A and B are shown apart, each in its own frame.
Chain A
Amino acid sequence: AQKITQTQPGMFVQEKEAVTLDCTYDTSDPSYGLFWYKQPSSGEMIFLIYQGSYDQQNATEGRYSLNFQKARKSANLVISASQLGDSAMYFCAMREEGNTGGFKTIFGAGTRLFVKA
């Protein structure tokens, strides 16, 4: 069963505008963590933001904020004031406890963001 769903394969945004990348998740574990990563064409995975399932407030990191709606099981990434350098693949991921007590991270299929000048 798909646990992380990113419904937007590709998105375009005008430079300096805000953009929202969608992510929904599915878990029965009450304790989990949600991440967003950026992957430029170079291949490196860049950590952007983290939201714990018990966090009351939405996480923010500079121009990045996570719109966490627990009841809807959604964790959308909002990028404000888009820059050309934001063009990349963006992955939503969920870290949950595995069957043997450790943790595993499950990734969505990703959304490719194109920022237009």
Chain B
Amino acid sequence: KAGVTQTPRYLIKTRGQQVTLSCSPISGHRSVSWYQQTPGQGLQFLFEYFSETQRNKGNFPGRFSGRQFSNSRSEMNVSTLELGDSALYLCASSLVLGGQETQYFGPGTRLLVL
């Protein structure tokens, strides 16, 4: 079974631009979560999608948005990029089966904003 995939793996943008990151969950996983990881703030929850609906959102400005498609693939968009948006963006898909939850992460997208 294929793991969580994220594209692109690396990205360089300039301030003011916008970016779209993509995440394909493990087959059968309907929940997709996004996280931002920076050296200063650590791992922070961005949002979670389930069946095309955003179920929860972290404390990030409205420049950060996302969506989920009917095949559970998810995209995350950041508009008007700032230098502080440089980070590793991780996507995770999860499944609850028999009371046991598993959450698997993709390799991440490293975004550098210049």
Contacts and interface: CB of A to CB of B under 8 A. Distances in A.
Interface stretch (B11-19, B75-83, B100-108): B100-108
B106 to A, nearest CB: 8
Interface of B: 31, 33, 35, 42-45, 48, 50, 54-58, 88, 90, 92, 99-105, 107-108, 110
B101 A95 contact: yes
Given A33-B101, A43-B88, A95-B103, A104 B58 contact: yes
Interface residues of A, number: 28
Contact of A50 (B48, B100, B105): B100
30 contacts: A35-B103, A43-B88, A43-B107, A44-B107, A44-B108, A45-B90, A45-B92, A46-B105, A47-B103, A47-B104, A47-B105, A52-B99, A55-B99, A95-B101, A95-B103, A98-B48, A98-B56, A100-B56, A100-B57, A101-B55, A102-B50, A103-B33, A103-B48, A103-B55, A104-B45, A105-B33, A106-B45, A107-B35, A109-B42, A110-B42
A108 B44 CA distance: 10
A64 to B, nearest CB: 14
Interface string A29-46: 000010101000001111
A57 interface: no
Contacts, number: 69
Contacts of A106: 45
Nearest to A101: B55
Nearest to A97: B56
A41 B3 CA distance: 19
B21 to A, nearest CB: 15
> Which 5 pairs from chain A and chain B are nearest by CB?
A102-B55, A98-B56, A102-B56, A45-B105, A107-B43
B34 to A, nearest CB: 11
A91 interface: yes
A28 interface: no
Contacts of B54: 102
